[in-house]
Amino acid sequence: MEQLGHFINGITVPNSSSRSGQVYNPALGKAIRTVGFAETADAQAAIAAAKAAFPAWQLTSLAKRTQVMFSFREILNARKGELAAIITEEHGKTLPDALGEVTRGLEVVEFATGLAHLLKGNYSESVSAGIDVYSIRQALGVVGIISPFNFPAMVPMWFFPIAIAAGNAVIIKPSEKDPSASMFMAQLLKEAGLPDGVFNVVHGDKVAVDALLEHPGIKSVSFVGSTPIAQYVYETGTKHGKRVQALGGAKNHMIVLPDADLDLAADSAVNAGFGSAGERCMAISALVAVEPIADALVKKIADRMSTIKVGDGTKGCDMGPLVTKAHRDKVASYIDAGEAEGGNVVVDGRTLKVEGNGFFLGPTLIDRVTPSMKVYREEIFGPVLSVIRVNSYDEALKLVNDHAFGNGTAIFTNDGGAARKFQNEVEVGMVGINVP
């Protein structure tokens, strides 16, 4: 079976030990390749290559650095279908979802091509007698990126186009569950004219992550993943003197007020709850229905769910499998827990049968969930939508504010004042407001 190596100094190199993991095609439930798990020495080799490449890259003109991003944009745009196919093969999301992911990433690449406008400094005259002060924006050096499985192309592209255009050298540690997208992008960056050593890929697990967090040669770390690991990365990285941005998990709410357009709300709940099989940090997983509309809304959502076609993401389905068998089983165990704690499983994804051994779980709707239940408290990260019935808008707002996660929230109402009240009173997270 093919073993994926690291990408260091412009070439693919094998792992220094036999430690490795299996990469699956989740739609087939079959291992398709293995990926070497870096030892500390492998990560150090990548850091050394990046450190060596950094001085010349930093001194390369801004015009040339952004030109490389222009070329990368052109090459990636021409070959985005190939990248989408790689994502679908290892992650399982449908091909249109994978293409959407690449498109979102390309937007950041395009943003990076205009970085010259953002790298300007400031100048303050006579801040003290005879003293002027100026500030300039400089590259940090070698920067690390640690990314999650659910967006193997887009999340790395949130960071590396900006980091590279700004003159840094990059080491990415992608998710070991779908590592090939980063390798493909590394090849395209090389084709775009990026000098060897400026972009490196190191695969693996905690050993590779710790090597990046502890090494003095890494100046900053950008992490996206689950909250406990985000916290670990933040604490360990900052303890070692690095700048760290760490983005964690979420439990996103959708509040539906009694005057809302229930058809629009039901369409949106289905798209936001089950797109990418719910494996999205901004997926809606908690639907807060403000009575008396819950019965009608639950029926509309359940009717729509019966039309969702689940299957291989390359075969024109609406929803693919979950990323691994372990994750599929974990999500199914949340449905068990929701049922055991008194939730009403209106649509049960556990009963779905798809031919073959793929890691499939059907879309699931659990009604009459209460805030004390595990399905409400924890991030499930799968196609499970919980309905929480409340009696007032204030009760709904309190739910959002009381939740432990940083939440995105969508509000469905015809009352602009209600949206404004939300904007004023919500305490945490990002706010998405939909006023039809």
Catalytic residue among 43, 115, 281, 399: 281
The single residue among 42, 178, 312, 379 that binds ligand NAD, judged by CB under 6 A, is 379
Closer of 148 and 383 to ligand NAD (Cβ):
148
The window from 79-87, 173-181, 355-363, 414-422 that contacts ligand NAD (CB under 6 A) reads: 173-181
Distance of closest approach, residue 147 Cβ to ligand NAD, in angstroms? 6
Closer of 146 and 290 to ligand NAD (Cβ):
146
Closer of 71 and 236 to ligand NAD (Cβ):
236
CB atoms within 10 A of CB 239: 11
The single residue among 88, 175, 252, 268 that binds ligand NAD, judged by CB under 6 A, is 175
The single residue among 381, 393, 412, 422 that binds ligand NAD, judged by CB under 6 A, is 381
Buried b (16+ CB within 10 A) or exposed e, 125-150: eeeeeeeeeeeeeebbbbbbbbbbbb
The window from 83-91, 124-132, 204-212, 422-430 that contacts ligand NAD (CB under 6 A) reads: 204-212
Mask for 393-422, x = binds ligand NAD (CB under 6 A): ------------------------------
Tell me the residue number closest to ligand NAD, measured at CB. 225
Q: Is 281 a catalytic residue?
A: yes
Burial of 40 from C-beta contacts in 10 A (0-12 / 13-18 / 19+):
middle
Closer of 374 and 398 to ligand NAD (Cβ):
374
Query: Cα separation of 241 and 297, whole Å?
Result: 51
If one asks whether residue 331 binds ligand NAD (CB under 6 A), the answer comes out as no
If one asks whether residue 222 binds ligand NAD (CB under 6 A), the answer comes out as no
If one asks whether residue 247 binds ligand NAD (CB under 6 A), the answer comes out as yes
Binding site for ligand NAD (CB under 6 A): 146-151, 155, 173, 175-176, 205-206, 209, 224-226, 229, 232, 247-250, 281, 379, 381
| Catalytic center residues | 281
